[in-house]
Structure 1
Amino acid sequence: MTRGRRWSAAVLAVALLAGGCTDEDANARFRPGAADLGDPYVPGAGNGGYDVAHYALRVRYDPASDRLTGQATVTVTATAGLSRFQFDLAGLTVDRVRVDGAPATHRRDGNELMVTPAHGLPAGKRFTVEVAYGGVPQPLPSGELGDGGFHATGDGAIALGQPESASTWYPVNDHPSDKATYDLEVTVPDGLAALSNGVPKGQSSKDGWTTWRWSEGSPMASYLTTLVIGNYRVSTGTHAGKPLVTAVAAGLPADGPAARALARTGEVADFLAERFGPYPFDAYGGIAVADERIRYALETQTRPVYGPGFFRGDRPNTEVVAHELAHQWFGDSVSLSRWSDIWLNEGFATYAEWLWNEHDGVRTVAQAFADRYAVTDWTKPTVDPGRAAMFGDAVYQRGALAVHALRRAVGDETFFRMLRGWLAERRNGTATTADFIGYAERIAGRSLRPLFDAWLVGAGAPALP
């Protein structure tokens, strides 16, 4: 609004409806979207005022220069009237931004990309944002699992990490509460693999470069996206009528424990489906990397990534495969609303290890429960453990103890019916601890709050149910 000009109420109303007035003091319909979703475990991550439905990413990466160029087309719905909105984007340079095809103003504020469209965006409006960007990606310092995000390697790159990683290679609403579908095109020099999430959509080559295409049609949390580029032995096939793609780094033995463990992916998934209900996605797989900086395995959707430390010996480590595949149900299909409830991911995935080990003849669930109960530090809570402890034993092991305590309290038939129903009801969505407890009580037909309080947050060893 120009100073000194007087607007009639009618003229102002017309301007507002047209979206032509962007003065935030005068136009109460449009405000900047929040720059933070308020999750204390990841301050600054996530953005408010909109919901992402789909990311279409076209990425080109040259290992010789470590340079990445990208074109992101993001389909978004405004959840509030927006004069401005933001994406998380760390370190890369933005060349241009368009909103619904029209040039938009943009600027950087640390790891935030701030976008001001030509006109205000009313609540409920669906729009597209195109971002052209590039640079040399760098990982984000994390501390718990090591740096997360885009790591250049000797023969390519690995984009991976939890709780943050996606913002190092594309503009994103980087919080699991805003899940979206994805289409990815990744162009790399001929001879290199470019692996990502979802269903493989083919490859094409031109002028010394090969484009690999992937599509994930189920909503996916941003930290579950991955990009693995390099020299890999890629195996493709089908399982239960769905594509199964596994890959083992060329630096690992061709018939070593990593390859043998990943070869059992379909078998492990079928075992878990008998307990948890149908496998929730349209593709299976796994990727074993050789980079020693990756000291963990991560449940990247449809295609978990495994660090080399899990395959040191001669025996194929199918326990870690069971853990990461269990996450396809607990964590990927049903995701977190907030990071303080991460036990909903890790406690159930750890319990799935116990189930698989019993099935595989390693040890019984009862033995695993008794052994862990005896050594647990009950002063450390499972729910809201604090950012520094979000990957600690209280989340994984005490969380698994709580799951088995629930099983013993309600009985096997009710317990497994409860898990299958929970996963079916919440499929493709998000949840909190309170949501799960409420559902469990509804299925059990009685209060379970004292049991969960004792096993998840009580300061002393709980009585055995």
Structure 2
Amino acid sequence: MRRLLVATLATALTLAGSAIPAQAAPAPGGAGLGDEYFPDYGNGGYDVSHYDVRLRYYPDDDRLTGTTTILATATQDLSSFHLDFVLDVASVKVNNRPAAFSREGDHELVVTPSRAVTRGGAMTVVVQYSGVPSNKVAGGITAWVRTPDGALAVGQPEEAWWWFPSNDHPSDKATFDVSVAVPDGVEVVSNGVMPRNPAREILGWTRWSWRSIHPQATYLAFLAIGQYEITRDTTADGQQVINAYSDLLTPAFEDAAKASVERTAEVVDWESGLFGPYPFEARGGVVAPPDTLTFALETQTRSVYSSGFFRSGSNTSVVVHENAHQWFGDSVSVDRWKEIWLNEGFATYAEWLWSEEQGEGTAQELFDYLYASKDADFWTVAPAAPGASEIFGDAVYDRGAMTLHQLRNTIGDQDFFELLRTWVSEHRYGDANTVEFTTLAEKISGQQLDELFDAWLYTPAKPAVPGAAALTAAAAPKAPRSLAGIQQTHDLLRARH
């Protein structure tokens, strides 16, 4: 009897043990997040909470040296992980221990810690590096722009690779501290607030420090280094308003730029009335030196503009567009690059709403003109699935805005503007996608909207519009006064890659 009990117990223990899975060995993090359009952008296996970027820049030879400290949390047991970066790396430490590192492809830095990082474990990654960013090519481009008096780190969808190592995808946002030492007399402008005035460092050098206290996508972090006139103000609630204008602007460009960008605080207040409270801690803009930048970008809290936007005079349309992105694109970011109409369509529609506000053409007049005048090729691109080569194409901007106008006409102003405010409130500081937006639109309106969204967002053909049979190119309605400025704005905006 005793022998039988022992055997039975042994069998039970064996069966129980077989139900317990073996501990998985630590594995490498992915060399990309699987973005449909840019599969090797970003990295798997960890989530970043903060970047501390400390640099020294030598304008005479475009040389950059730096140390970036990354605070992150492992999302799996990690034996190694990737960072997106192209400069020359001298050393890497993970949790205060030297780590091995190697190159893979044209922008991947592979880091192997001296001991694995467990899932949920904190990672403090310190990377020391140097190089001449304008000499580095990755993805067939050099996104760092050397200027006559310094440099610009401004670009989309990739830019961080040339000045700080990162998990470079908008779905992994973090806070930032950026500190840059430059020769005395050179200015540095970046995102967020200036927590302290520029400080004299060693003889002949000044250090500029900037802080972004709300989550920010890596491509929205920027640097403008050179000779700039910096203007400062505060809003009624105490926010810093900091604008910067290249000293290389001619008087005509400078006056037109200031007549536009100095209205940023006013534009943001107006947009707050439509979209809800401004989501960030500061506001402003930067106008780059002539012939250095060919686009504008909604760099968080402080958009950067090509001087070309002001070649024909003032242009508040581009200021409206880039600041609308502070809600649509910056606070609420896309979870994949194919969703970018959620950025550009919304910012374009903000321009249409500004045109209405200024009495220069209603949104309906802008819709009618574009619907009648766009050629056949325009309608072959679906805004919600444009393809990687068309993420900055006409359809993403204009057809995206036309989609929103048709939605507004269908559900009415009350539900439409409640939808916009709810969208940015529910996804504040996070990321989102088209399905989430269309689902919310149906919830708020109480209407079934599949047919509308299928036609305007997903079908590569011109949607029918009831009562618009007469809107043809041969009998196009008169262009609203605001259209010329909007079209000039978009021609430059699309040239960013």
Compute the TM-score of the two structures, normalised by the length of structure 1.
0.91
For 1:321, the aligned partner's letter is V
Aligned length: 435
Q: Distance in 1 between the 2:270 and 2:67 partners?
A: 40
Q: Distance in 2 between the 1:217 and 1:98 partners?
A: 25
Q: Distance in 2 between the 1:127 and 1:457 partners?
A: 41
Q: Does 1:99 align with 2:94?
A: yes
Task: Give the equivalent residue in structure 2 for 1:58.
Answer: 54
Q: Distance in 2 between the 1:460 and 1:243 partners?
A: 45
Aligned partner of 1:134 among 130, 134, 141: 130
Q: SS where residue 463 of structure 1 aligns? A: coil
Q: Distance in 2 between the 1:102 and 1:464 partners?
A: 67
Q: Distance in 2 between the 1:464 and 1:122 partners?
A: 59
Q: SS where residue 54 of structure 1 aligns? A: strand
For 1:205, the aligned partner's letter is R
Q: Which of the pair is proportionally richer in helix?
A: 2
Aligned partner of 1:168 among 158, 162, 175: 162
Moved segments of 4+, more than 3 Å: 139-143
More contact order relative to length (CA 8 Å, sep ≥ 6): 2
Aligned pairs for 1:21-420 within 5 A: 28-90=24-86, 92-110=87-105, 111-138=107-134, 140=137, 147=141, 149-202=143-196, 203-206=198-201, 207-240=203-236, 241-253=238-250, 255-314=254-313, 316-376=314-374, 377-420=378-421
For 1:85, the aligned partner's letter is F
Conservation of the 8 A alpha-carbon contact between 1:140 and 1:168: no
Aligned partner of 1:460 among 459, 462, 469: 462
Q: Distance in 2 between the 1:414 and 1:229 partners?
A: 44
Q: Distance in 1 between the 2:447 and 2:137 partners?
A: 45
Shift of 1:162: 0.6
Q: 1:140 to 1:300 in 2, by over 3 A?
A: farther
Conservation of the 8 A alpha-carbon contact between 2:249 and 2:290: no
Conservation of the 8 A alpha-carbon contact between 1:153 and 1:291: no
| Structure 1 unaligned blocks of 5 or more | 1-25
Q: Distance in 2 between the 1:259 and 1:181 partners?
A: 29
Q: SS where residue 424 of structure 1 aligns? A: helix
Q: For structure 1, which segment, 366-375 or 171-180, has the greater mean C-alpha deviation from structure 2 after superposition?
A: 366-375
Q: Distance in 2 between the 1:367 and 1:141 partners?
A: 43
| Structure 2 unaligned blocks of 5 or more | 1-21, 468-497
Q: 1:348 to 1:191 in 2, by over 3 A?
A: same
* Structure whose CA Rg is larger: 2
Q: 1:83 to 1:197 in 2, by over 3 A?
A: same
Q: 1:148 to 1:402 in 2, by over 3 A?
A: farther
Q: SS where residue 215 of structure 1 aligns? A: strand
Q: SS where residue 257 of structure 1 aligns? A: helix
Deviation digits for residues 345-382 of structure 1 (CA, Å, limit 9, x no counterpart): 00000000111122123221111111111123322211
Q: SS where residue 379 of structure 2 aligns? A: coil
